[in-house]
Structure 1
Amino acid sequence: MQLDPLLEEVLAATGAVVLLGIALAGLYWLVVGSPPTIAIIIGAAIGLAMGIPLLALTSPRRHR
């Protein structure tokens, strides 16, 4: 089953942004010494929601 190319781009962007968020949360925890607060988590979720469509729509197109 073939996925729609735009859906593939959205899934790739989602994976990249989620990994970046996890890495930044871990780095925050190491530097500050306490886990990220709910405000930081909500801010990251809002950034994720805005960033995924931008990454998916502006990424280079893959040709099959």
Structure 2
Amino acid sequence: VPNHAAIYCGDGELLHHIPEQLSKRERYTDKWQRRTHSIWRHRAWREFAFTGICNDFAAASACR
């Protein structure tokens, strides 16, 4: 039963949220590829729409 969602961020990384844990970035490894049920993309999706998300990642990484 599919019960999980993730956002593929490019460069082999995904952003996902596991119940009772904080959201995190993780490599889209064979483990996740085997568990992928389906891939959905909004018909109006554009790569530049991820600019804000990528900027947040960069800022959070700089704070570590």
TM-score by length of 1: 0.29
Q: TM-score, normalised to structure 2's length?
A: 0.29
**Which one scores higher on RCO, CA 8 angstroms, separation ≥ 6?**
1
- Which structure has the highest helix share of the two? 1
